[in-house]
């Protein structure tokens, strides 16, 4: 009987034994399956959970003014951390060099003592922190000095020194041309040149392998980036800083004087379309003026009387009138299709020539011309306006251009009086830049040039792309008609609504515009308060046009709202500055006859402001400085004083030393770490390394003197 239980026990043992063998074989099989079949995928998945490639932003390209001065640049800012468990950071090394490291950190940053640093680092060493923050917002020279500190000089793997680079966008001239320069920020619609040339400026991001450590922190695995970023291209603009500064200040002064809501100014070269200055200012709730919106490009409004030129050019080009023809304007009041129209002169102008109609900005005179010749064919008048591209956007590179509006008979709001309203600048819409482009074409004998903001795009010293002159229309009207248009514009200043702009040095041609601003719900004449838009569009010198300019001031709230007294002075101040500083537009002087008319104020080189203060004080010469605390300045000699504007010198970037004396230039460049060679005598004319380039210590720069 005992054999049976033993046999049963043995059978159970075999069952358990074979079950264990089967289980073991299953585990081994699964392990082999995971290792061989799924291993690659699982290893990649595990790796991806702890390591990842992160984008490293490239240094954004610089934006320059027309003289090489920097308008926008990227300044590298560094974040320094320390791996307290780095491979070479043994207790012996740490203890031996800790005091020296803490003293160096205290001397460099001067925000806490060496003892405080020692306590901090000892605590983090005890915790085994692999990513301890040493300092944020570390400058380049500070980071470079830290590389040579005790322990840090062992490198990333031995000394635990970790550097992360960030780029901060800076505008050396702060608010000057700020809206035109613009910005490109993540999650925000790009603005200005920064947005228009985002692709060129941005460069190509690099890659850096990062590893997740305790606490969910990502730490670089290697000292260097796995893929180095490629810096962005540089954009060279057409903007002239001196003229831009004058434009902004002249605009600001008039806006404050007349308590206006906002205003803008654009100055353009006639032949090339180069925008030399563009300023936009708007009043905030506190009554201060800032660049909030690019009115010059984006604000499409009824232009008012500046549009009268287009209407008369159309009638002249169609062969209906000449500027010597007469028009009966009556007593200053006239009815058109049931609506009463008035001229600004009480009692009217009577019978006058078309030239006088334009010079005195007679609404009735212009409407009479258009009514007489186009009442039965209004589509021909509209076709004439469209022939001059007044219904088309310019297509500039900066985003946000306002849409022009020229109504035609197919428009739902068209009425019998629409072409007459259009003829004097109502029931149509144009931006200031679109009106300026038209006026520039008249100054250019009928050739319409596309406005441009950049000259070229470069990669360091090599040119990637140059921006050519672009022609919108070879001929918006005949040259003969354009010449008559020029005669009309000259008459406005000589004996019309802008005689206050006459001067003995050079002639201005242009047109005033004082337009009522329509309220969308109440129209033009209803409501307690009427708002106006004052503008002046023209060019100079009138006999040989070099620059065209438009000024628009919106809603001046003082008693003076006429364009000649609101917009005109801004135009005049800018024109005076440009004429005084542009030798190429002056008639050559007869040295004998004009020697007594030359200014008695000597011309000075650019340089150190305090030294110039001393010299001009000794010579008893009046000076005007944008800021008495400026270290380096650009000087401009006027007829009765010398003005000084700040010249920015940015750390670690090659400065612009053109126009300086050799002594000042050498002082600045050698202190920046460059080796200087000089050729010639006089003031600095050219420099071999363009301003704004990153300085490489010990690099040679050659200066060409005038």
Q: Which of 308-322, 429-443, 514-528 has the weakest average pLDDT?
A: 514-528
- In this predicted structure, what is the pLDDT of residue 600? 59
What angle, rounded to 10 degrees, do the helices at 432-443 and 308-317 form?
Answer: 40
88 pLDDT tier (thresholds 50, 70, 90): confident
79 membership: H or E segment, kind and range: strand 70-82
CATH of 597-705, one of 3.40.30.10, 3.30.10.20, 3.40.50.2300, 3.50.50.60: 3.30.10.20
221 pLDDT tier (thresholds 50, 70, 90): low
The whole-angstrom separation of Cα 406 and Cα 413 is 12
- In this predicted structure, what is the pLDDT of residue 33? 72
- In this predicted structure, what is the pLDDT of residue 272? 97
- Does the fold of domain 597-705 match that of domain 241-582? no
Per-residue pLDDT tens digits for 674-705: 888 888 777 888 888 888 778 888 888 988 88
- In this predicted structure, what is the pLDDT of residue 561? 78
In the predicted model, is pLDDT for residue 578 greater than 60? yes
- Surface-to-core class of residue 590, CB atoms within 10 Å of its CB (0-12 exposed, 13-18 middle, 19+ buried): exposed
Strands (E), 588-641: 607-608, 623-625, 632-637
- In this predicted structure, what is the pLDDT of residue 197? 93
- In this predicted structure, what is the pLDDT of residue 38? 61
- What percentage of the chain exceeds 90 in pLDDT? 54
- Surface-to-core class of residue 224, CB atoms within 10 Å of its CB (0-12 exposed, 13-18 middle, 19+ buried): exposed
Task: Please tell me the number of Cα atoms within 13 Å of 469 on its side-chain side.
Answer: 13
Of 388, 410, 392, 409, whose CA–CA distance to 401 is shortest?
A: 392
> Within 10 A of 469 (CB to CB), how many other CB atoms are there?
12
Q: Where are the alpha helices (DSSP H) in 388-478?
A: 418-423, 432-443
Omega into 270 within 30° of 0, i.e. cis?
A: no
User: What are the distances in angstroms from CA 516 to CA 229, 294, 295, 306, 361?
Assistant: 54, 21, 17, 13, 15
User: What are the distances in angstroms from CA 519 to CA 404, 530, 614, 692?
Assistant: 19, 9, 56, 48
Its sign, for the CA torsion 70, 550, 251, 576, is: positive
The whole-angstrom separation of Cα 508 and Cα 580 is 14
Q: Which residues pair with 348 in a beta bridge?
A: none
- In this predicted structure, what is the pLDDT of residue 130? 85
Q: What is the pTM of this model?
A: 0.72
In the predicted model, is pLDDT for residue 17 greater than 60? yes
Domain ranges within the chain, ordered by starting residue: 54-237, 241-582, 597-705
- In this predicted structure, what is the pLDDT of residue 594? 43
Residues in Cβ contact with 108 at an 8 Å cutoff, skipping those fewer than 6 apart: 142, 145, 146
Q: Which of 37-41, 54-58, 430-434 has the weakest average pLDDT?
A: 37-41
**Taking the chain, what is the end-to-end CA distance rounded to the nearest angstrom?**
127
The whole-angstrom separation of Cα 636 and Cα 629 is 18
In the predicted model, is pLDDT for residue 217 greater than 70? no
Which two three-digit tokens encode residue 368?
């009479």
Q: Which of 152-166, 218-232, 364-378, 532-546 has the weakest average pLDDT?
A: 218-232
The conformation of residue 152, written as its DSSP 8-state character, comes to G
435 and 264 Cβ atoms separated by less than 8 Å: no
526 pLDDT tier (thresholds 50, 70, 90): very low
598 pLDDT tier (thresholds 50, 70, 90): very low
Per-residue pLDDT tens digits for 277-328: 999 999 999 999 999 899 999 999 999 999 999 999 999 999 999 999 999 9
Three-state DSSP class for residue 320: coil
Per-residue pLDDT tens digits for 391-426: 999 999 999 999 999 999 999 999 999 999 999 999
Per-residue pLDDT tens digits for 230-274: 889 999 999 999 999 999 999 999 999 999 999 999 999 999 999
In the predicted model, is pLDDT for residue 519 greater than 80? no
Of 251, 249, 247, 250, whose CA–CA distance to 239 is shortest?
A: 247
Of 188, 222, 217, whose CA–CA distance to 206 is shortest?
A: 222
CATH of 54-237, one of 3.40.30.160, 3.90.1310.10, 1.10.472.50, 1.10.3210.10: 3.90.1310.10
The whole-angstrom separation of Cα 423 and Cα 225 is 64
In the predicted model, is pLDDT for residue 163 greater than 60? yes
Mean pLDDT, the chain, integer: 86
The whole-angstrom separation of Cα 612 and Cα 114 is 44
- What percentage of the chain exceeds 70 in pLDDT? 87
- In this predicted structure, what is the pLDDT of residue 219? 60
Which two three-digit tokens encode residue 366?
């212009």
Mean pLDDT of 62-90: 89
79 and 133 Cβ atoms separated by less than 8 Å: yes
Residues in Cβ contact with 466 at an 8 Å cutoff, skipping those fewer than 6 apart: 455, 456
Mean pLDDT of 547-571: 90
CATH architecture under which domain 241-582 falls: 3-Layer(aba) Sandwich (3.40)
């Amino acid at each position: 009987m005992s054999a049976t239980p033993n046999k049963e026990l043995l059978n159970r043992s075999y069952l358990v034994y074979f079950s264990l063998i089967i289980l073991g074989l299953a585990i081994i099989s699964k392990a082999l399956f995971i290792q061989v079949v799924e291993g690659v995928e699982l290893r990649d998945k595990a790796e991806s959970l702890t390591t990842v490639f992160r984008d490293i932003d490239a240094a954004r390209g610089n934006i320059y003014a027309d003289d090489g001065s920097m308008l926008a640049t990227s300044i590298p800012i560094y974040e320094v951390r320390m791996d307290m468990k780095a491979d070479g950071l043994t207790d012996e090394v740490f203890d031996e060099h800790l005091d020296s490291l803490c003293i160096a950190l205290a001397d460099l940053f001067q925000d806490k003592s060496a003892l405080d640093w020692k306590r901090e680092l000892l605590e983090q060493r005890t915790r085994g922190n692999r990513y301890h923050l040493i300092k944020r917002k570390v400058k380049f020279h500070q980071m470079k000095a830290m590389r040579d500190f005790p322990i840090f000089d062992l490198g990333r793997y031995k000394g635990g020194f970790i550097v992360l680079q960030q780029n901060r966008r800076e505008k050396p001239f702060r608010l000057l041309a700020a809206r035109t320069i613009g910005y490109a920020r993540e999650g925000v619609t790009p603005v200005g040149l920064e947005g228009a040339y985002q692709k060129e400026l941005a460069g190509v991001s690099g890659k850096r392998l990062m590893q997740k450590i305790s606490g969910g922190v990502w730490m670089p695995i290697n000292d260097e980036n796995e893929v180095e970023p490629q810096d962005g291209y540089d954009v060279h603009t057409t903007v002239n800083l001196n003229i831009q500064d004058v434009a902004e200040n002249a605009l600001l002064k008039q806006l404050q004087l007349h308590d206006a809501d906002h205003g803008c100014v654009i100055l353009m070269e006639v032949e090339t379309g180069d925008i030399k200055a563009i300023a936009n200012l708007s009043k905030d709730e506190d009554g201060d003026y800032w660049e909030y919106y690019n009115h010059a490009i984006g604000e499409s409004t009824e232009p008012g009387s500046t549009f009268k030129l287009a209407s008369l050019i159309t009638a002249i080009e169609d062969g209906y009138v000449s500027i010597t023809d007469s028009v009966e304007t009556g007593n200053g009041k006239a009815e058109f299709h049931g609506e009463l129209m008035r001229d600004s002169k009480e009692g009217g102008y009577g019978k006058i020539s078309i030239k006088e109609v334009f010079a005195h900005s007679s609404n009735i005179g212009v409407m009479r011309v258009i009514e007489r010749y186009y009442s039965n064919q209004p589509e021909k008048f509209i076709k004439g306006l469209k022939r001059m591209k007044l219904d088309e956007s310019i297509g500039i590179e900066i985003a946000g251009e306002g849409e022009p509006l020229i109504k035609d008979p197919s428009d739902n709001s068209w009425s019998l009086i629409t072409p007459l309203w259009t003829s004097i600048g109502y029931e149509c819409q144009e931006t200031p830049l679109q009106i300026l482009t038209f006026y520039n074409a008249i100054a250019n004998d009928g050739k319409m040039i596309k406005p441009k903001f950049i000259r070229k795009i470069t990669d360091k010293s090599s040119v990637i792309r140059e921006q050519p002159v672009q022609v919108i229309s070879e001929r918006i009207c005949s040259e003969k008609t354009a010449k008559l248009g020029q005669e009309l514009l000259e008459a406005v200043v000589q004996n019309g609504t802008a005689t206050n702009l006459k001067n003995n040095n050079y002639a201005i041609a242009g047109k005033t515009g004082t337009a009522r601003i329509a309220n969308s719900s109440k129209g033009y004449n209803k409501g307690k308060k009427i708002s106006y838009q004052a503008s002046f569009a023209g060019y100079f010198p009138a006999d040989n046009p070099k620059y065209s300019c438009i000024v628009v001031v919106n809603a001046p709230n003082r008693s003076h709202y006429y364009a000649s007294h609101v917009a005109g002075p801004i135009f005049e101040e800018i024109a005076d500055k440009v004429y005084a500083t542009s030798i190429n537009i002056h008639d050559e002087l007869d040295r004998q006859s004009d020697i007594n008319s030359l200014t008695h104020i000597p011309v000075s080189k650019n340089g150190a402001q305090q030294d110039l203060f001393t010299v001009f004080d000794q010579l008893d010469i009046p000076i005007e400085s944008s800021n008495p605390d400026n270290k380096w300045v650009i000087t401009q000699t006027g007829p009765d004083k010398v003005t000084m504007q700040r010249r920015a010198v940015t750390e670690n970037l090659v400065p612009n030393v053109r126009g300086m004396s050799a002594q000042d230039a050498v002082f600045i460049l050698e202190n920046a770490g460059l080796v200087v060679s000089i050729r010639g005598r006089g003031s600095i004319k050219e420099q071999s390394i363009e301003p704004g380039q990153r300085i490489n210590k010990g690099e040679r720069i050659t200066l060409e003197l005038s």
